[in-house]
A and B are shown apart, each in its own frame.
Chain A
């Protein structure tokens, strides 16, 4: 299948970018990234600079791949990362617009590559349980009901890809932050510091320059792991509760 691509090219963080058009001959069994591989092989073979894009595991779990594909983070297939998107969902002659994630907190580094280290800093602000190696009681001393464990897991399934920020009209990171806060707040191990965690993570999130949540729920719709906005409500509860009940 022949495809027309309009791809954002930008030399580096400081340069201004522009769209460039390419043609590529793909086949329907390819993944989207394999299609880009083919494009890049062609560019390199004619001594042109290939399109920089991020990817790693190519099985939908590492969260490295990103891209906004014709207006949708990770493309048109719901619950699917770009690396798991296959070309059979596109049609002959289609024009595909490929852009990087757009958010002030995710500056473009080159072409389609953005800097998502803001997420790391948010986790560093409190997205953990403060337990040193060796200080743990027996795993079965902490009983956790099957449903609670499952609910916590649902939130913990976040891959930190940033599609929620990319999809949100406000470039808000609330789904990401709420997934981590929920994952840990739901578990007894995470409870002792849940108030501190919620407050510190939200403050860091605000500092990074993400927008605020308008409950649009586009994040949930675009999340490749189906993280629910129920988590955002939980984060709101945690944060409001923490702000008014803690002594600090």
Chain B
């Protein structure tokens, strides 16, 4: 299949503006006749549904949550990037574009990323107008902070709950359209298939999660804003219900899954502490603004800490290795996520980890508390403040900045992070891969669009901090509402679809058969137990570091696990009731296939780039080594029939404006 990214020609900075102005439009009268289905109500889904409703389309929006406000976008902590240059520190659209391409290790499309940087400024304005209470300066202007992989302050934030505030903004906009009758909201409905008519996406099959009723919904186009697939790993910072099912069902209908192996491992999460654990908790990247990452220099010290004989504070300054500051002097603790994560793995592999499992490093705020305390004492004209006074003043400032994160840490671990350095370890956080889309965010199935984390488009092989919120909202507010017109302008004469069409009947039957299959396997093991085992395989062989042998082995193990799943699954209850175990079984079935595809993709990509680190391909210093000659492409996989081998389609990546270079944060 020839993959056409459809990036418009012309000067990079002019592409989007020109394209927008020359794009076919749908008149207001015709918009009223067109139906659009939006699946998902997170940042991308809710903002798209609201904006499409405002434009006049008839929108049906679906979420498996009890309310659109629960989507996992809500958990994003640190902030959202925008090239506003309010700090006068030399930021610009081009710099944000450049940072994002470089941060993504030169594996993203130039055109898409530049557009993202352009609309980033509009997002902030839009969110402010909606009433998002961003942090402000005393003078009333918006405040910024820095995030990893950048040297400017362009991150807008609302304490440690930026995602929550942005999602609530989008939820409010969506609620307004619901009240105006332009959006019909379907809560507690899970999409289980997409319906194609004459090769175009024309509807979906859903299950009402309360009654179990299987329903058919038709529209002229379908938008998926269903998030990422990080939960393939079982343990991740994703919410428990995050899953790949909507995207995967689209793949099984012919959509392509792009770059599935690009997984972001976030460096600052609370380390795992038990086998019963259900999820990992992120500590915002913003903490690296002030926290210093370190491990003891001596293995003996690390050993003593692991055994509880010493505490972090007992290790003298000279015996600490601030390894990020040492290895990456230019960016220090604020190197991009993939770099920071790998560095943590490296020191722990050397036996320097500081938690009983050996998998943990310190994130220390003692220096920041002292620095802030001294500065505050100075500005309050205190003469010869005592160490305790300085500590108290500094603690107050750290508390103001990160209080809720510190509180969360204490709740989970039972330790006071002001007194003892935080213990952190990398964890799966985000997936850069996703459904392949062109510049219009349209998949290779006409009429099927994907927005937000669900698509692969903007982050290349690694996403920079505070860019997920930016991309989700860019897609939903400022890109999709325009680009969907390129498809719908050709559909203005297409009448509404009847859900009695054979294509709907076939899809519904397929869904029913599948669910029936899960119910009647009558084995012994729960869906959860399979999920946990899949996660272990993925983390072991397709996690922070991968190699050919391990990936091949992982694929074999997953296939065995999948066979066991279909032979020995047990689902209690019935299909026509509220049945979380059945939901879980259907999701785990899709995770099993997605996991296998990730291993296939990771094996195919014989290079290291961004979040994909192949042990065979590294420099002597342990940095990732790309192979631009052979792998400067998007790997888009088609896998309709999983009994066959998946089919790889390559979209070459062409850099016209950026000089591709080895990524250095030194």
A: residues with CB less than 8 A from B are 11-12, 27, 29-31, 33-34, 37-38, 41, 43-45, 47-50, 52, 54-64, 77, 79-80, 84, 86, 88, 109-110, 113, 115-117, 119-120, 123-140, 142-146, 148-150, 152-153, 156-157, 159-160, 183-184, 187, 189-190
Contacts and interface: CB of A to CB of B under 8 A. Distances in A.
Given A41-B528, A58-B279, A133-B481, 14 more contacts: A44-B581, A52-B578, A56-B65, A57-B240, A58-B239, A59-B75, A59-B237, A61-B161, A62-B74, A63-B70, A130-B176, A144-B136, A153-B158, A157-B164
Contacts of A37: 276, 278, 528
A27 B276 contact: yes
Given A50-B581, A136-B129, A189-B131, A57 B239 contact: yes
A138 B125 contact: yes
B133 A34 contact: no
Contacts of B237: 59
B274 A29 contact: yes
Contact of B134 (A50, A124, A149, A159): A149
B178 A124 contact: yes
Contacts, number: 219
A188 B75 CA distance: 26
B44 to A, nearest CB: 13
Interface residues of B, number: 84
Given A62-B75, A128-B175, A189-B129, A50 B572 contact: yes
Given A131-B130, A143-B141, A58 B240 contact: yes
22 contacts: A41-B529, A44-B528, A44-B570, A52-B580, A56-B72, A56-B240, A57-B70, A58-B278, A58-B279, A62-B70, A86-B412, A88-B414, A113-B578, A115-B66, A116-B66, A133-B126, A133-B481, A140-B141, A143-B139, A149-B133, A153-B165, A189-B129
Contacts of A55: 240
A133 B159 contact: no
A59 B160 CA distance: 12
Nearest to A161: B70
Interface in B390-414: 407-408, 411-412, 414
B241 A34 contact: no
Given A49-B573, A146-B136, A139 B125 contact: yes
Interface in B126-161: 126-131, 133-142, 156, 158-159, 161
A157 B133 CA distance: 10
A124 B181 CA distance: 11
Nearest to A58: B279
A143 B139 CA distance: 7
4 pairs of A and B residues whose beta carbons are closest in the complex: A143-B140, A136-B129, A128-B172, A136-B125
B294 to A, nearest CB: 25
Given A136-B125, A145-B140, A153-B165, A110 B577 contact: yes
